[in-house]
Amino acid sequence: MLKTAICDLFGIKHPIVQGGMTHISTTELVSAVSNAGALGIIACGYYLADWVREQIRLTRQKTNTSFGINIPLISHHIKEVIEVILQEKVPIVVTGAGNPEAYIPEFKKAGIKIVPVVATVSAARRMERAGVDAIVAEGTESGGHIGETTTITLVPQVVEAVKVPVITAGGFAGGRGLAAALALGVQGIQMGTRFACSTECIAHPSYKQKILEANDCGTAITGSTTGLPLRGLKNNLTEQFLAMERSGASKENLNQFGHGKMFKGLIEGDVEGGALPAGQIAGMIKDIKPVREIIAEAEKVIAGLKNFKTGGC
Amino acid sequence: MLKTAICDLFGIKHPIVQGGMTHISTTELVSAVSNAGALGIIACGYYLADWVREQIRLTRQKTNTSFGINIPLISHHIKEVIEVILQEKVPIVVTGAGNPEAYIPEFKKAGIKIVPVVATVSAARRMERAGVDAIVAEGTESGGHIGETTTITLVPQVVEAVKVPVITAGGFAGGRGLAAALALGVQGIQMGTRFACSTECIAHPSYKQKILEANDCGTAITGSTTGLPLRGLKNNLTEQFLAMERSGASKENLNQFGHGKMFKGLIEGDVEGGALPAGQIAGMIKDIKPVREIIAEAEKVIAGLKNFKTGGC
């Protein structure tokens, strides 16, 4: 079994992290991923602190191994959520949508590992200086909120720029990508859309089905004009949203229009009127299967790479 | 030395192809690449047939090994250029910016290998059915005219969709990327921006310098509204062009504004008023060096991968 620096750092068997996906990275998926030897991540989204506490406790009931929690720093409840995370001593915190520097001392004091998601080399450098434990370098092919640089160009530049372990996200659905990522010099990959299409994920079956039907051109980026671009499956909603953007709709109108649409798509299964965050790799995903099989398949590919020097090429 | 299917197909030593870059992929660069054991490619751009014939003959004077020629199918001189290629029996033709199906029988009859550049899985499938010899799957991180899907998501999907050898372009500047690409299942990589920054390339020194100064966020996409998006280094010209697009300029006005700007940037060295096509990997390129060193560096990385099963993971 190929071990990398993040296996020790996070206390996991496989160099695989599950992406924190709002509404659907809940205790069901998280505990399945962690029990399979990878790193499950609870997504806080904009949920209240009490919901977050419940998710953490439920996860602890279902798994004895390591897991993490993803907090978008733009959440209105960020202070209360962080308080809960500190109280519950979640071992690993992944931060997104903002700069976590202000919170780093508290997390470190509590022995919690901090792993920010970044989309540029300069952000990676700044985060390393601020004392984070590892970095997720996320390419524009990711689902959800994204930057502009692609995984295959961003990753080797981040790996050269920092000394902390780098995990990459954006464009991964299995072992072939994991092997490529290791060649680029990272210590692990994060997969989101692939885990959304697991048996255990609570996402609505219609959303999962829509991922299975997507091809390589199946996603679109909305919200570029609002400063918070989001990649998701093309549907009536993305067409409407893009038409509004082309006709010069204000950020306020766009945000109002988008409000609540992710819950509608992911949980209620409204695949035309809801938002369906998904990565460009959706076209590679052709089945819904248990988390354990997803991880075993990836592991099988890299099992042949015992002599593969990660970061060495 | 790691050999792949394109080494035999193209008669080359290393699984590396030089991208056909208008104005700068001339006999100087092409012969240097082919003499170093990779595949040099003359770029026809919109040049006249006589210029193309001269480039082919000059290249034959400088190298005894294999080389290819890139033809953008939207060239006004396409018929005359193809006539010259048939007469001169260039061994390999790479096609871009259009559908080469109409020309395939003639090329095949002349024993010329045809390699189209594609940006989607459906185009790859169509090209295979039309009888091409190999395919270049080009991600959106490439310099010049591009599609929307990123290399790391496009490539494994193309590899699964077709049986002919696949070469990938977009995001490559050396051995680390080559190893990753082989893990994704391709038979070789194409590099453009990296070879533009070779000693032998006739591009203006100021353009090369601008590539060296670029970081991971150094490129922009212009022309999305014209249907022919182009990635290049950010400068005054891209700012002006994007402002025109945002204010709803017509395709005709934009094309007129863009006319001649690539020559101005690449050959005359006007790095603010000219267009500077370059890939997102520009941020990785930190030196100008001889072609032979670029290829040797990449070869050195994959030399350790003798047991690496390409396409197997």
The token pair that represents A111 in the structure block: 């022995």
pLDDT band at B202 (very low <50, low <70, confident <90, very high): very high
* Torsional class of B281: left (φ above 0), alpha (ψ -120 to 50), beta (otherwise): alpha
- Best mutation target among B150, B157, B191 (most A Cβ atoms within 10 Å) is B150
pLDDT tens track for A51-71: 999 999 999 999 999 999 999
| A232 min Cα distance to partner chain B (Å) | 13
Q: Which structure tokens are listed for B35?
A: 């003499």
Which of B154, B179, B279 minimises the CB distance to A216? B154
The model's confidence at residue A30, banded by pLDDT at 50, 70 and 90, is very high
Which of A120, A122, A153, A215 is the best residue to mutate to test the B interface, defined by the most B CB atoms within 10 Å of its own CB?
A: A153
More confident residue, B2 or B61: B61
Residue A311 has pLDDT above 50, yes or no: no
Residues 282-301 of B with CB under 8 A from A: 283-284, 301
Residues A155/A166, Cβ–Cβ less than 8 Å: yes
Q: Respond yes or no on whether ipTM tops 0.95.
A: no
CB atoms within 10 A of CB A49: 19
Q: What is the pLDDT of residues B118-174, one digit of tens each?
A: 999 999 999 999 999 999 999 999 999 999 999 999 999 999 999 999 999 999 999
pLDDT value of residue A97? 82
Residues 168-187 of B with CB under 8 A from A: 170-172, 175-177, 179-185
The residue of chain A with its CA nearest to that of B311 is A176
Out of A140, A171, A313, whose CB is closest to B176? Answer: A313
Average pLDDT taken over every residue of chain B:
94
How many whole angstroms separate alpha carbon B170 and alpha carbon B154?
11
Residue A274 has pLDDT above 60, yes or no: yes
Residues from chain B that touch A140, judged by Cβ atoms under 8 A, are 150
Region A23-52: what's the mean pLDDT?
Answer: 98
Q: What confidence tier does A306 reach under pLDDT thresholds 50, 70, 90?
A: low
* Burial class of residue B34 (count of CB atoms within 10 Å of its CB; 0-12, 13-18, 19+): buried
* B211 in Cβ contact with B282 (< 8 Å): yes
Chain A, residues 187-226, CB within 8 A of chain B, namely 215-217
Among the listed residues B95, B81, B86, B79, the one whose alpha carbon sits nearest the alpha carbon of residue B52 = B81
| pLDDT higher than threshold 70 for residue A131 | yes
User: What would the two tokens of residue B252 be?
Assistant: 């005709």
Helix, strand, or coil (residue A238): helix
Measured between CB atoms, does B249 come within 8 Å of chain A? no
pLDDT over 70 (residue B308): no
Mean pLDDT calculated for residue range B257-277: 97
Residue A157 CA, distance from chain mean position = 20
What single DSSP character describes residue B187? S
Over 90: is that where the pLDDT of A27 sits? yes
Q: CB of B64 within 8 Å of any CB in chain A?
A: no
Domains in chain A (CATH in brackets) are 5-200+290-303 (3.20.20.70), 214-281 (no CATH)
Angle among Cα B255, B235, B213 to the nearest 5 degrees reads: 135
Give me the torsion for CA of B41, B45, B47, B53, rounded to 10°.
20
Say yes or no to pLDDT of A313 above 60.
Answer: no
Cross-chain residue pair B304–A313, CB shorter than 8 Å? yes
| Sheet of A219-222, strand order | A144-145, A230-233, A219-222
- Model confidence at A308, in pLDDT bands (50, 70, 90)? low
The 3-state DSSP class for residue A230 equals strand
- pLDDT bracket for residue A12 (50, 70, 90): very high
